[in-house]
Amino acid sequence: MRKCCDKSLSCLLVNMSRVAKKRKFDKTRQDNLYFDSYSDVTIHEEMIADHVRTNTYRLAILKNSESIRGKVVLDVGAGTGVLSMFCIQAGAKKVYAVEACSIAEQAVKIVQQNNMEDKIQVIRGTVESVELPEMVEVIVSEWMGYALLHESMLNSVLYARDKWLKKPNGIILPDKAELFITPICEPIVEDRLHFWYTVKDNYGVDMSSMSDFARKCIKNSDISVSPVTGEDVLSHPARFAELDLYTTTAEHLRSVKGHFRCESFGSALVNAFCVYFSVSFPGPDKQQPLVLSTSPFKPETHWKQAVLYLDEPVDVMQDTLVTGEINMYPSEESDRHVCIHLDYTIGKQKTHSKTFSIPDWTAETLS
């Protein structure tokens, strides 16, 4: 999944993209643009280089070797085929690596380079359109997007589960996802707003009036994908949703919501909420599951975190109560793009509501 490495640059690019005209386009064109974005080497380099992501999948697959050995596996959205090859290393009998974009051609070469062509069959197409020669006993996929659901492939995994996974003993890796929210004090945005008050000291020109304009540009309704540190977090995170991949349906994904309740650690300025996710893999012999987390308290991943800026910051003190409800759902422009509606109350303030979305990076291409 795409990420901007620099936090301030990420905010700037996201804000600039809002000038693009929003239109609703047919699903086929949306899908083509989505898959085309995975045809470039950069995104695959970023994902493979994400050690937390790649190594957690490798460990999870190898630790579940007893469940994979001698089995037929389906890799949904196989990309370069790295997860498929991990499955062969774990003893899989056969892997069908389904990939919709042209990176499938490179996956074929990588499979041949690793002498696995007799066990891995790369199939070009979407999992919804291809036909497999047999049912499978294992589904593996790295389907997660920003804030878990933005441009994710979870719907495709659920489709594959219902059509191709043997019942009742088929397994899915990972098999659970959880979503969390916490209030934060994001210092960079406050520094950016204060910057306009420093121009006069540096250059002799008063540009403090730019602060209001900057606030509107930065603290808008965009979901900012940027790294949050543990020091920014102002309370214990609250889990507001859990998805069981064995039972979740596509209809469930039309509205993933939950309530949250947090208490602030101490005196601070709340200027945003942070949303992040984790996915878990079953442990062998009912051992503790292996968790891939995008928490601010864990090593950074290429997913970073989703930051939701408040229109106005709020001062909190020790144990100030922060409550609310969050709802994640597909945007009207594209089913692949997530919107987040937030109702929140901080301390004794009245309840505020705000709806956020990640701008459509393809809007200029489409218009």
Assigned token pair, 186: 């994001």
Q: In the numeric block, which tokens belong to residue 132?
A: 């497999």
Active-site choice (99, 137, 151, 333): 151
Rounded to 10 degrees, the C-alpha dihedral 138/142/147/150 comes to -100
Cβ–Cβ < 8 Å for 255, 326: no
Please count the CA atoms within 13 angstroms of the CA of 351 that sit on its side-chain side: 8
Sign of the C-alpha dihedral, residues 70, 76, 81, 83? negative
Per the annotation, the verdict on 142 as an active-site residue is yes
* 167 exposure class (CB count in 10 Å sphere: 0-12, 13-18, 19+): exposed
- Residue in 99, 137, 142, 333 annotated catalytic: 142
Q: Is 45 considered catalytic here? A: no
Task: Name residue, tokens 């085929």.
Answer: 81
Tokens of 363: 């809007």
Diameter over CA atoms, the chain: 73
Which pair of structure tokens corresponds to residue 278?
């984790």
Active site residues: 142, 151
